[in-house]
Amino acid sequence: MKANMLAATLTLAVGVTILPISATAASHDPAATTYIDVAPTTNNVYASDVSVSARSAAAIDVQTGRFLYEKNGDDKMLIASLTKIITCIVAIESGVDLDSETTVSNRAAGKEGSSIYLKVGEKQKIRDLLYAVMLRSGNDAATAVAEACGQGSEAKFVEMMNAKVQDLGLTGTHFANPHGLDAKDHYSTAHDMAVLTAYALRNPTFAQIVATQVKTIPYPGEDYARKLYNKNKMLTRYEGADGVKTGYTKAAGRCLVSSATVDGRQVAVVTLDAPGDWVDHQRLLDYGFEAYTNFPVAKEDEVVKTLPLEDGIEPQVDVKVGVEFTYPVRKNEQDKLRTEMKLDDHLQAPVVGGEKVGEMKIYYEDKLLGVVPLVAAKDVREKTYWERFKQFFSGMIRN
């Protein structure tokens, strides 16, 4: 296909039919939806809508990254074992085989605080240790994971954690260890932890671990296995709950990240220093699902244009939306959504169904939310030499 891009901008009406949200596609897929972070810069978003005990809180739509609520969201605070969220996702992304075994060091086995009582010299799969990290908040397990995935060095792993922070653009966060014990230069914000959590939950391995209520792992040297019960009570207290992590130190107070999926839409909530965290999360999850509704700005397979096609067996081809794009909005926000299309102005046969021929940009007012591919609706082959000759000859006769 030959194509010259025409910057033809067309504004479409936004439909209000409610559809379940689809999974985020990989950015390298030509038919993928690309969501662009449009997180607000203010640290209070609808903070007066929900009363919570937390000093700092945030709620985020996991797929799109839209902040639904923030209270003092940019305040830098201690986060205790919420640290283990980044420990887990960095380990998963480290490239180390999670089913390989690591030997527990003296440093890991002796780590103070919450523990699953690892023994020096004990061998465990990294994957099983990640369950111990996220379900039981084992500081010993977190240290063992850091050493296994950080080329034998906890310090190297912490560097990897902070590199991920920079990659995600989290300017209010810095880590000093992989477990979350109070330390100088170890802090984050509710806003940053919400972004990090939404990112991590898009990883299937991470999502599976944090949704697990009970996990059994080996206990070498004993005649029974370790049975790990998840400390996150939201998994049984809230319908649809599927994560994420508890945390507590005397200095940090009660910290919690939860998530839930209802009708295909996932919301994550972060509270820091929250005496009534379980109630806070119930209220904020309810708010996230009730105050916002997913609207399909672009419906998959919807025909949006017909383009002329040169040398095709058919003179034109329909253009359709390649993948659905939905966005959470409040009741008074639907008219703030708009779309713009940029299409190839000249198509040359043959074209293949599903082949990208343009793109649709989605805006909330003037903020670009994301980009959706526009694709050819079907295959259209090129005319053969004989078909071109017959067309030319028919034209000669008519003239």
Set 71, 84, 164, 383: catalytic member: 84
DSSP per residue, 175-219 = -S-SS----TT-BB-HHHHHHHHHHHHTSHHHHHHHH-SEEEE--
Find out whether 283 and 50 touch, Cβ atoms under 8 Å: yes
User: Residue 7 gets which letter from DSSP?
Assistant: -
Q: Is 48 a catalytic residue?
A: no
Set 81, 105, 258, 259: catalytic member: 81
Helix boundaries (H) for the chain: 84-93, 106-109, 126-135, 139-149, 154-167, 190-201, 204-211, 234-237, 277-290, 385-398
Say whether the peptide bond before residue 244 is cis (omega within 30 degrees of 0): yes
Give the distance, in angstroms, between the CA of residue 212 and the centroid of all CA atoms in the same chain.
Answer: 19
Q: What does R_g of the chain's alpha carbons equal in angstroms?
A: 26
Find out whether 343 and 304 touch, Cβ atoms under 8 Å: no
Set 56, 105, 114, 137: catalytic member: 137
Sign of dihedral through CA atoms 94, 271, 142, 178? positive
- Cα distance between residue 157 and residue 94, in whole Å: 9
Q: Is 84 a catalytic residue?
A: yes
Q: What are the residue numbers of the active site?
A: 81, 84, 137
